[in-house]
Amino acid sequence: MPQNIRSGNINSSFFDGYYKDIWRQFFPEKTTQAEVDFIIADAKLVPGNSVIDIMCGYGRHSLEIGRRGIKVTAVDNLCDYINEIKEIADAEKLPVETLCEDVLEMQIDPQFDAAICMGNSLQFFNEEETSKLLSNISKHLKSRGKFFINTWSIAEIAIKNFNERS
């Protein structure tokens, strides 16, 4: 299976290699737990509900949500991430299904209680791609389902204009 599904978008390479290792070290476990606490409380999720985690990366949210008895479909275009999540989920017997696929082209049938996109990935899509992705996700959310989007893009925006002193 190829390392990257999608070669035309920066998501296919930006989060690979060193960035993948740096990103993993950046977030302490308590941050992930707090974010998952918020998602579960705000979406009123209970064991047996379902969540789709798009551009899930190494699965910090997917795995934590799965540990709480909530079904998760973890989707990412980097197969290394998906393989790692699958290995951990299988070892821990978590209700986590993995899908190595381009989120713009993914074919999903189920309806989800919530959807999450918790990282910088969404900002790399252009307006048309973002609209397509959001439309696809909205079609797969149950009535009253919620979509949580979080981005840590301040550094990516500020660094290109950073002056040590001004």
Residue 43 is assigned to a structural domain of this protein: yes
User: What pLDDT does residue 127 have?
Assistant: 86
User: What pLDDT does residue 5 have?
Assistant: 41
Q: Which residues contact 30 (CB under 8 A, 6 or more apart)?
A: none
The count of domains in the chain is 1
Residue 104 is assigned to a structural domain of this protein: yes
User: What pLDDT does residue 14 have?
Assistant: 52
Residue 15 is assigned to a structural domain of this protein: yes
User: What pLDDT does residue 154 have?
Assistant: 55
CATH number of the domain within which 155 lies: 3.40.50.150
Domain residues for the domain of 65 are 10-161
pTM to 2 decimal places: 0.80
Residue 105 is assigned to a structural domain of this protein: yes
pLDDT averages per 10-residue partition of the chain, 166 residues: 44 56 70 95 97 94 98 93 96 97 87 91 83 91 93 59 61
Distance CA 130, CA 137 (A): 11
Residue 111 is assigned to a structural domain of this protein: yes
Residue 5 is assigned to a structural domain of this protein: no
